[in-house]
Amino acid sequence: MTTQRPTSPVKASTQSFIEIEEIKDDVVLMKDFSAATVIEVSAVNFWLLSTEEQSSMIYSYAGLLNSLSFPVQILIVSKKMDISAYLDYLEERITRVGVELIKTRLVSYREFIKNIVKKNTVLEKRFFFIVPFSPLELGVSGAQPGSLNREYVVSRAKTSLYPKRDNLLRLLSKTGLTGSILYSQQLSELFYNLYNPSSTGRRMAPVESYTDVVMTQQ
């Protein structure tokens, strides 16, 4: 009589741990039918501003937050910057330049950049405002996501989110900051790189060209 070896239970796929259900246009729909739209905000080198400009920006930013009548989330992403493409660009320029003095300067600059990267970690920082939408805004049925139609929720989410998003963009412009709405391509790349920290800011092919869920690096 042969004994049957116990088999390990089937492990859930990585996809089951991701809360994102779908990215539609500029709206991220979650599995519980909550949703959000994402605005990327331009960075400002605060320490290069004068004391008066720093104070003005601080007060403007405080005024922005205090004037909001809806909740927002603030996301700051710090990621090690991959400058290999820039070094390749410098190498190409060095090989193509004909003036010896300019070539010497470029070589010196390339070595300077390499030394900085060796001694210091060069970080890329990105700043985002996230405007959320709760399924409770749909009414009583919002507490039962399984009974809702996905397209209907996305439509209602857009109706709720767009005025808030546009108001936030106007407030950002008053503080001297530029806000950019992230659409499906940028959102997919953002979440891909968040879930794959070693990807160093990988750019994806057009999302329409994928026929399967993109979860890991190729």
Q: Does 6 map to a domain?
A: no
Task: Collapse the DSSP code of 205 into the 3-class scheme (helix H, G, I; strand E, B; otherwise coil) and give the result.
Answer: coil
Q: Does 214 map to a domain?
A: no
pTM over cut 0.75: no
Q: Does 162 map to a domain?
A: yes
Provide the domain limits for residue 116.
82-121
Tell me 196's DSSP state.
-
Count Cβ atoms below 10 Å from residue 180 Cβ, excluding itself. Answer: 14
Same domain for 71 and 138, yes or no, is yes
Q: Does 217 map to a domain?
A: no
Same domain for 87 and 114, yes or no, is yes
Same domain for 52 and 137, yes or no, is yes
Same domain for 194 and 154, yes or no, is yes
Count up the domains in the chain and report the number: 2
Q: Please, which residues have CB within 8 angstroms of residue 203's CB and are 6 or more apart in sequence?
A: 189
pLDDT of residue 39 exceeding 80: yes
Same domain for 100 and 196, yes or no, is no
Of 13, 19, 50, 12, the C-alpha closest to 34 is 19
Same domain for 75 and 87, yes or no, is no
Same domain for 103 and 73, yes or no, is no
Task: Collapse the DSSP code of 162 into the 3-class scheme (helix H, G, I; strand E, B; otherwise coil) and give the result.
Answer: helix
Once rounded to an integer, what is the mean pLDDT over residues 4-15? 51
Same domain for 50 and 66, yes or no, is yes
Distance CA 97, CA 111 (A): 17
Give 106-164 pLDDT, tens digit per residue: 889 988 888 887 777 677 788 999 999 998 887 755 556 566 788 888 999 999 999 99
Of 157, 160, 163, 15, the C-alpha closest to 149 is 157
Same domain for 130 and 197, yes or no, is yes
Which range has the worst mean pLDDT, 46-50, 122-126, 196-200? 196-200
Distance CA 177, CA 128 (A): 12
Of the residues 93, 121, 149, the one at which a domain ends: 121
Q: Does 179 map to a domain?
A: yes
Same domain for 70 and 87, yes or no, is no
Of the residues 97, 121, 145, the one at which a domain ends: 121
Give 81-111 pLDDT, tens digit per residue: 777 888 888 888 888 888 888 889 988 998 8
What ranges in the chain are assigned the alpha helix state H?
51-67, 84-96, 100-119, 150-174, 184-195
Same domain for 25 and 44, yes or no, is yes
The H or E element that residue 155 is part of is helix 150-174
Per the DSSP assignment, residues forming a β-bridge with 74 are 129
Q: Are the C-beta atoms of 99 and 107 separated by less than 8 Å?
A: no
